[in-house]
Amino acid sequence: MVFRWFTCIAGLGLAFVGLSLKAQDRPQTLGTHMMIADPASLSDARAEAVYQSIKDTLRRQYMKSGDPVAAAFQTWRRPNREPYRSGVHGQRFINHYANDLAEDYGDFKLGKPFPEGAIIVKDSFAVTESGGVMSGPMFLIEKKENGFNPSSKDWLFMMIKPSGEVVGITNGVGASKVRFCAECHSQAPDGQDQLYFMPDSVRRNN
């Protein structure tokens, strides 16, 4: 019953796809129907507790895409201490995860381009003014072979909605829908291989 209700809401969410970027990006209610008290004063510790209680649900939602990374990324290293709000990814709470080939990302080492196969993923959720917790998209970047896409320094960008729908992949299905990702990332400071990293205040080794 609950599952049917959730599927219905997910269907409604999909009906908005294509109207505008904002609608397409609309977060969907989590299957847990989670509500939290006093959302305006959500501390870092509480944001982490919310995340710990929903991260399996997020993973299962992204896994509906069939992408193998969706099943694996939460076992990778997470360089941020708690989820934090990202102004550029829709004001959602996000976490960063880096695979072994992207270990320099977790160590915040700059100056050297990342090797082919390096993958960095962000999962995300939103908290509404009334305290509803909503799942958000998964953002992925992967370093591909030399020449894959010179303007993005061979990074592939991908976004997966909580419904499991793949919004777009660089040089693949829906490529035009993730072009804005690469455009913004190409503005990252020199010497950072088009990555932005994260604010010092949320880094685990601080």
Tokens for 34, please give them. 């989670």
Q: How many CA atoms lie within 13 A of 186 on its CB side?
A: 14
What are the φ/ψ torsions at residue 54 (nearest 5 degrees)?
A: -115, -5
- Quote the CA–CA distance of 184 and 194 in Å, as a whole number: 9
Nearest distance, CB of residue 78 and ligand HEC, angstroms = 12
Nearest approach, Cβ of 32 to ligand HEC (angstroms)? 24
Work out the widest C-alpha separation in the chain, in whole angstroms. 53
User: DSSP 3-state assignment of 33?
Assistant: coil
Look up residue 157 and give its two tokens: 């960008």
CA 50, CA 147: separation in Å to the nearest integer? Answer: 41
In the complex, the residues that contact ligand HEC under the rule CB under 6 A are 86, 88-89, 94, 96, 120, 122, 139-141, 157, 159, 178, 180-181, 184-185, 195-198
CB-nearer residue toward ligand HEC: 89 or 131: 89
Nearer to ligand HEC, 76 or 139 (CB): 139
60-91: burial string, b at 16+ Cβ within 10 Å, e else: ebbbebebebbeebbebebbbbbbbbbeebbe
Judged by CB, which is closer to ligand HEC: 8, or 173? Answer: 173
CB of 66 to ligand HEC, least distance (A): 18
Output 6 or 197, the one with its CB closest to ligand HEC. 197
Smallest distance, ligand HEC to C-beta of residue 39, A: 20
- The residue among 69 and 140 lying less far from ligand HEC, judged by its C-beta, is 140
C-beta closer to ligand HEC: residue 51 or 157: 157
Nearest distance from C-beta of residue 8 to ligand HEC, angstroms? 26
Rg, Å, the chain Cα set: 17
CB of 50 to ligand HEC, least distance (A): 18
